[in-house]
A and B are shown apart, each in its own frame.
Chain A
Protein backbone atom coordinates (compact mmCIF):
# COMPACT_ATOMS: atom_id res chain seq x y z
CA UNK A 1 0.00 0.00 0.00
CA UNK A 2 1.90 3.01 -1.27
CA UNK A 3 2.01 6.06 0.92
CA UNK A 4 1.40 9.65 -0.12
CA UNK A 5 3.46 10.42 -3.21
CA UNK A 6 4.82 13.81 -4.12
CA UNK A 7 6.83 14.86 -7.10
CA UNK A 8 9.15 16.28 -7.86
CA UNK A 9 11.13 15.92 -4.64
CA UNK A 10 13.29 18.89 -5.53
CA UNK A 11 12.39 21.73 -7.86
CA UNK A 12 14.53 24.67 -8.88
CA UNK A 13 12.94 27.64 -10.57
CA UNK A 14 14.12 31.11 -11.55
CA UNK A 15 12.16 34.14 -10.43
CA UNK A 16 9.11 34.64 -12.60
CA UNK A 17 8.74 31.01 -13.65
CA UNK A 18 5.90 28.69 -12.70
CA UNK A 19 6.13 25.82 -10.23
CA UNK A 20 3.77 22.85 -10.35
CA UNK A 21 3.83 20.45 -7.42
CA UNK A 22 1.97 17.16 -7.57
CA UNK A 23 0.50 15.00 -4.83
CA UNK A 24 -1.08 11.56 -5.07
CA UNK A 25 -2.90 10.64 -1.83
CA UNK A 26 -2.85 7.22 -0.27
CA UNK A 27 -5.21 4.66 -1.76
CA UNK A 28 -8.68 5.14 -0.35
CA UNK A 29 -7.99 8.71 0.79
CA UNK A 30 -10.07 11.47 -0.75
CA UNK A 31 -9.01 14.37 1.47
CA UNK A 32 -5.84 16.26 0.63
CA UNK A 33 -4.11 19.03 2.55
CA UNK A 34 -1.19 21.20 1.47
CA UNK A 35 1.22 22.73 3.97
CA UNK A 36 4.27 24.94 3.58
CA UNK A 37 7.36 24.84 5.77
CA UNK A 38 9.65 27.82 5.59
CA UNK A 39 13.24 27.29 6.76
CA UNK A 40 13.52 26.87 10.53
CA UNK A 41 9.74 27.03 10.99
CA UNK A 42 6.82 24.72 11.59
CA UNK A 43 4.33 23.72 8.93
CA UNK A 44 1.62 26.16 7.95
CA UNK A 45 -1.69 25.07 6.44
CA UNK A 46 -2.39 26.29 2.93
CA UNK A 47 -5.40 24.52 1.44
CA UNK A 48 -7.74 21.56 1.98
CA UNK A 49 -9.31 19.80 -0.98
CA UNK A 50 -11.58 16.92 -1.75
CA UNK A 51 -12.06 15.52 -5.21
CA UNK A 52 -13.03 18.43 -7.48
CA UNK A 53 -13.70 20.72 -4.50
CA UNK A 54 -11.71 23.26 -2.52
CA UNK A 55 -12.97 23.01 1.05
CA UNK A 56 -10.74 25.56 2.77
CA UNK A 57 -8.15 27.81 1.16
CA UNK A 58 -7.76 30.18 4.09
CA UNK A 59 -4.00 29.63 4.23
CA UNK A 60 -3.32 30.29 0.56
CA UNK A 61 -1.71 33.58 -0.49
CA UNK A 62 -4.25 35.60 -2.40
CA UNK A 63 -2.18 35.90 -5.54
CA UNK A 64 -0.08 33.54 -7.64
CA UNK A 65 -1.08 30.38 -5.73
CA UNK A 66 -3.78 27.94 -6.79
CA UNK A 67 -4.65 24.32 -6.07
CA UNK A 68 -6.82 21.67 -7.60
CA UNK A 69 -7.74 18.05 -7.03
CA UNK A 70 -9.38 16.76 -10.20
CA UNK A 71 -11.62 13.73 -10.46
CA UNK A 72 -8.79 11.81 -12.06
CA UNK A 73 -5.14 12.31 -11.28
CA UNK A 74 -3.10 13.93 -8.55
CA UNK A 75 -3.69 17.13 -6.65
CA UNK A 76 -1.70 20.05 -8.07
CA UNK A 77 -0.35 23.08 -6.22
CA UNK A 78 0.56 25.75 -8.73
CA UNK A 79 2.69 28.79 -8.01
CA UNK A 80 2.87 31.36 -10.77
CA UNK A 81 5.66 33.92 -11.16
CA UNK A 82 7.67 32.51 -8.27
CA UNK A 83 9.69 34.82 -6.02
CA UNK A 84 12.58 34.02 -3.68
CA UNK A 85 10.22 34.06 -0.70
CA UNK A 86 8.41 31.04 -2.15
CA UNK A 87 11.47 28.89 -1.45
CA UNK A 88 10.25 26.32 1.07
CA UNK A 89 9.29 22.70 1.56
CA UNK A 90 5.75 21.98 0.43
CA UNK A 91 4.07 18.99 2.02
CA UNK A 92 0.93 17.21 1.01
CA UNK A 93 -1.04 15.09 3.46
CA UNK A 94 -4.03 12.86 2.99
CA UNK A 95 -6.67 11.25 5.18
CA UNK A 96 -9.61 8.94 4.76
CA UNK A 97 -11.93 11.56 6.17
CA UNK A 98 -11.36 14.75 8.17
CA UNK A 99 -12.28 13.13 11.46
CA UNK A 100 -9.85 10.30 11.03
CA UNK A 101 -7.15 9.98 13.65
CA UNK A 102 -4.31 9.84 11.15
CA UNK A 103 -3.12 12.28 8.55
CA UNK A 104 -0.27 10.91 6.49
CA UNK A 105 2.31 13.14 4.89
CA UNK A 106 4.20 12.79 1.66
CA UNK A 107 7.97 13.28 1.51
CA UNK A 108 7.59 16.91 0.47
CA UNK A 109 8.79 18.99 -2.47
CA UNK A 110 11.69 21.30 -1.79
CA UNK A 111 11.29 24.38 -3.96
CA UNK A 112 14.28 26.63 -4.50
CA UNK A 113 13.81 29.91 -6.33
CA UNK A 114 17.00 31.39 -7.76
Chain B
Protein backbone atom coordinates (compact mmCIF):
# COMPACT_ATOMS: atom_id res chain seq x y z
CA UNK B 1 0.00 0.00 0.00
CA UNK B 2 1.18 3.50 -0.80
CA UNK B 3 2.26 5.36 2.29
CA UNK B 4 2.09 8.77 0.66
CA UNK B 5 -0.35 9.52 -2.14
CA UNK B 6 -0.43 12.62 -4.28
CA UNK B 7 -3.38 12.19 -6.62
CA UNK B 8 -2.80 15.24 -8.80
CA UNK B 9 -0.08 14.63 -11.40
CA UNK B 10 -0.45 18.22 -12.61
CA UNK B 11 -2.15 21.40 -11.45
CA UNK B 12 -2.64 24.78 -13.08
CA UNK B 13 -3.27 28.07 -11.33
CA UNK B 14 -3.52 31.68 -12.35
CA UNK B 15 -0.94 34.07 -10.98
CA UNK B 16 -2.04 35.64 -7.67
CA UNK B 17 -4.64 32.93 -7.05
CA UNK B 18 -4.41 30.35 -4.27
CA UNK B 19 -3.88 26.65 -5.00
CA UNK B 20 -4.17 23.48 -2.93
CA UNK B 21 -1.96 20.46 -3.55
CA UNK B 22 -3.33 17.24 -2.11
CA UNK B 23 -1.49 14.69 -0.01
CA UNK B 24 -2.84 11.72 1.91
CA UNK B 25 -0.78 9.37 4.01
CA UNK B 26 -1.04 6.03 5.70
CA UNK B 27 0.63 5.09 8.96
CA UNK B 28 -0.21 3.31 12.18
CA UNK B 29 2.51 5.18 14.04
CA UNK B 30 1.10 7.83 16.41
CA UNK B 31 4.28 9.90 16.08
CA UNK B 32 5.12 11.09 12.59
CA UNK B 33 6.05 14.19 10.66
CA UNK B 34 4.90 15.52 7.31
CA UNK B 35 7.06 17.58 4.97
CA UNK B 36 6.56 19.44 1.73
CA UNK B 37 9.40 20.09 -0.70
CA UNK B 38 9.59 22.08 -3.92
CA UNK B 39 11.72 20.87 -6.82
CA UNK B 40 12.13 23.50 -9.55
CA UNK B 41 13.40 22.60 -13.01
CA UNK B 42 16.96 23.15 -11.81
CA UNK B 43 16.53 20.00 -9.73
CA UNK B 44 17.32 20.96 -6.16
CA UNK B 45 14.99 20.01 -3.30
CA UNK B 46 13.79 23.02 -1.32
CA UNK B 47 12.21 22.47 2.10
CA UNK B 48 8.93 24.37 2.43
CA UNK B 49 7.02 23.38 5.56
CA UNK B 50 6.73 20.78 8.31
CA UNK B 51 3.80 19.47 10.37
CA UNK B 52 4.21 17.18 13.36
CA UNK B 53 1.49 14.69 14.20
CA UNK B 54 1.05 16.16 17.67
CA UNK B 55 1.02 19.79 16.54
CA UNK B 56 -2.27 21.39 17.50
CA UNK B 57 -2.20 24.09 14.87
CA UNK B 58 -1.69 23.96 11.14
CA UNK B 59 1.82 24.93 10.10
CA UNK B 60 2.39 28.14 8.16
CA UNK B 61 5.50 29.56 6.49
CA UNK B 62 4.92 32.78 4.61
CA UNK B 63 2.68 32.01 1.63
CA UNK B 64 2.68 28.30 2.45
CA UNK B 65 0.27 26.68 4.85
CA UNK B 66 -0.46 23.07 5.58
CA UNK B 67 -4.08 21.99 5.94
CA UNK B 68 -3.61 19.10 8.37
CA UNK B 69 -6.64 16.87 8.87
CA UNK B 70 -5.44 14.08 11.10
CA UNK B 71 -8.62 11.98 11.11
CA UNK B 72 -8.67 11.99 7.32
CA UNK B 73 -4.90 11.46 7.15
CA UNK B 74 -4.45 14.36 4.80
CA UNK B 75 -1.80 17.08 4.73
CA UNK B 76 -2.61 19.39 1.86
CA UNK B 77 -0.29 22.25 0.92
CA UNK B 78 -1.94 25.60 0.29
CA UNK B 79 0.01 28.23 -1.64
CA UNK B 80 -1.55 31.66 -1.46
CA UNK B 81 -1.03 34.43 -4.01
CA UNK B 82 0.74 32.20 -6.53
CA UNK B 83 3.77 33.58 -8.33
CA UNK B 84 5.34 32.53 -11.62
CA UNK B 85 8.34 31.28 -9.65
CA UNK B 86 6.11 28.77 -7.87
CA UNK B 87 5.99 26.67 -11.04
CA UNK B 88 7.75 23.46 -10.00
CA UNK B 89 7.28 19.89 -8.87
CA UNK B 90 6.00 19.58 -5.29
CA UNK B 91 6.59 16.55 -3.12
CA UNK B 92 4.85 15.51 0.07
CA UNK B 93 6.89 13.28 2.40
CA UNK B 94 6.40 11.50 5.72
CA UNK B 95 8.79 10.59 8.49
CA UNK B 96 7.63 7.80 10.77
CA UNK B 97 8.89 6.91 14.21
CA UNK B 98 10.26 3.66 15.54
CA UNK B 99 6.71 2.45 16.16
CA UNK B 100 6.18 2.28 12.43
CA UNK B 101 8.72 -0.51 12.20
CA UNK B 102 11.23 1.63 10.42
CA UNK B 103 14.16 3.75 11.35
CA UNK B 104 13.50 7.18 12.63
CA UNK B 105 14.45 9.94 10.24
CA UNK B 106 14.06 8.56 6.75
CA UNK B 107 11.45 10.17 4.53
CA UNK B 108 8.93 8.42 2.30
CA UNK B 109 7.95 10.55 -0.67
CA UNK B 110 4.86 10.79 -2.82
CA UNK B 111 5.03 10.81 -6.61
CA UNK B 112 4.79 14.58 -6.79
CA UNK B 113 2.52 17.18 -8.37
CA UNK B 114 3.70 19.48 -11.15
CA UNK B 115 2.36 22.97 -10.56
CA UNK B 116 2.18 25.44 -13.43
CA UNK B 117 1.42 29.07 -12.69
CA UNK B 118 -0.04 31.02 -15.61
CA UNK B 119 0.43 34.79 -15.94
Contacts and interface: CB of A to CB of B under 8 A. Distances in A.
A102 B51 CA distance: 10
Contacts of B105: 31, 33, 48, 55-56, 95, 98-99, 103
A21 interface: no
Interface residues of B, number: 24
Contacts of B93: 43
B47 interface: yes
Contact of B106 (A33, A102, A108, A110): A33
Contacts, number: 66
Given A101-B50, A102-B50, A105-B37, A45 B44 contact: no
Interface in A88-113: 89, 91, 93, 95, 98-99, 101-105, 107-108, 110
B108 A45 contact: yes
Given A48-B105, A101-B52, A89 B110 contact: no
A107 B108 CA distance: 19
Interface of A: 31, 33, 35, 41-45, 48, 55-56, 58-59, 89, 91, 93, 95, 98-99, 101-105, 107-108, 110
